[in-house]
Structure 1
Amino acid sequence: MLEEHLGYVGDSVRLEQFKSAVAQVVKHGDCITDLGCGTGILGLLCLQAGASRVYAIDATAMIEVARESFVRAGWGGQAIFMGDYSPRANLPERVDVVICDQVGYFGFDAGIIEYLADARRRFLKPGGALIPARLRLQLAAVESETSYGLADGWRREGVPSEFHWLRQYAVNTKHAVNLQREELLGAPAELGSIDFREDNPDFFSWDAELRIERDGVLRGLGGWFDCELAEGVWLTNSPFADRPIKRSQAFLPIGEAVEVKAGDVVRARVMARPTDSVIAWEVEIASGGRKFSHSTWQGELRTPAEIIKRNPAHVPRPNSRGQARMIVLGLCDGQRTVRQVEEAVLREHPGLFPSVQETARFVAQVLGKDTE
Structure 2
Amino acid sequence: MRHQNSISGKVVMDVGCGTGILSIFCALAGAKRVYAVEASDIAVQANEVVRANHLSDKIVVLHGRVEDVNIEEKVDVIISEWMGYMLLYESMLASVIFARDKWLKPGGLILPSDATLYIAPVTHTERYSESIDFWRNVYGIDMSAMLPLAKQCAFEEPSVETITGENVLTWPYVVKYVDCYTIVAQELESVTAKYRFESMMRAPLHGFAFWFDVEFNGPTLSTSNNLYKVSPGCSASDSNQQETKKRNKPDEALVLSTAPEDAPTHWQQTLLYFYEPIELQQDQVIEGSVTLSQSQENPRFLNIHLEYSSGGRSFVKESVMR
Query: Greater strand percent: which structure?
Result: 2
1:237 aligns with 2:221: no
Contact 1:154 1:165 survives alignment (8 Å):
no
Aligned to 1:125, the other structure's residue is in SS state strand
Percent identity of paired positions between Structure 1 and Structure 2 = 23
Deviations 1:177-230 (A, max 9, x none): 111122222232233311121133222111222221111111111111111122
Partner of 1:196: 180
Looking at structure 1, the residues matched to 75 and 130 of structure 2 have their Cα atoms a distance apart, in angstroms, of 43
Aligned to 1:259, the other structure's residue is in SS state strand
Looking at structure 1, the residues matched to 89 and 97 of structure 2 have their Cα atoms a distance apart, in angstroms, of 15
Q: What one-letter code is carried by the residue in structure 2 that aligns with 1:116?
A: V
Partner of 1:41: 21
TM-score, with normalisation over the residues of structure 1? 0.66
Looking at structure 2, the residues matched to 50 and 255 of structure 1 have their Cα atoms a distance apart, in angstroms, of 53
Summarize the alignment of residues 183-332 of structure 1 with structure 2, pairs less than 5 Å apart. Answer: 183-200=167-184, 201=187, 202-231=189-218, 232-241=253-262, 243=263, 245-274=265-294, 275-296=299-320
Q: What one-letter code is carried by the residue in structure 1 that aligns with 2:160?
A: A
Looking at structure 1, the residues matched to 147 and 300 of structure 2 have their Cα atoms a distance apart, in angstroms, of 28
Aligned to 1:198, the other structure's residue is in SS state coil
State which of 121, 124, 139 in structure 1 corresponds to 2:119: 139
In the TM superposition, what is the alpha-carbon distance from 1:77 to its structure 2 partner?
1.9
Contact 2:309 2:315 survives alignment (8 Å):
yes
Query: Greater helix percent: which structure?
Result: 1
Looking at structure 1, the residues matched to 273 and 304 of structure 2 have their Cα atoms a distance apart, in angstroms, of 11
Runs of at least 5 residues in structure 1 that lack an aligned partner in the other structure:
1-18, 301-372
Looking at structure 2, the residues matched to 196 and 182 of structure 1 have their Cα atoms a distance apart, in angstroms, of 32
CA RMSD in angstroms comes to 2.9
Q: What one-letter code is carried by the residue in structure 1 that aligns with 2:13?
A: T
Q: Alpha carbons of 1:284 and 1:51: their partners in 2 closer, same or farther (altered >3 Å)? A: same
Looking at structure 1, the residues matched to 137 and 4 of structure 2 have their Cα atoms a distance apart, in angstroms, of 54
Q: Alpha carbons of 1:276 and 1:246: their partners in 2 closer, same or farther (altered >3 Å)? A: closer
Partner of 2:105: 125
Looking at structure 2, the residues matched to 203 and 82 of structure 1 have their Cα atoms a distance apart, in angstroms, of 31
Larger radius of gyration: 1
Partner of 1:16: none
Q: What one-letter code is carried by the residue in structure 1 that aligns with 2:293?
A: R
In the TM superposition, what is the alpha-carbon distance from 1:65 to its structure 2 partner?
2.8
Aligned to 1:205, the other structure's residue is in SS state strand
Contact 1:225 1:237 survives alignment (8 Å):
yes
Aligned to 1:76, the other structure's residue is in SS state coil
In the TM superposition, what is the alpha-carbon distance from 1:149 to its structure 2 partner?
7.1
Question: Matched residue pairs, number?
Answer: 277
Runs of at least 5 residues in structure 2 that lack an aligned partner in the other structure:
219-252
Contact 2:132 2:147 survives alignment (8 Å):
no
Q: Alpha carbons of 1:236 and 1:157: their partners in 2 closer, same or farther (altered >3 Å)? A: farther
Partner of 1:182: 166
Contact 2:91 2:300 survives alignment (8 Å):
no
Runs of 4+, deviation exceeding 3 Å: 145-172, 243-247
TM-score, with normalisation over the residues of structure 2? 0.75
Looking at structure 2, the residues matched to 277 and 130 of structure 1 have their Cα atoms a distance apart, in angstroms, of 25
Contact 1:82 1:89 survives alignment (8 Å):
yes
Partner of 1:314: none
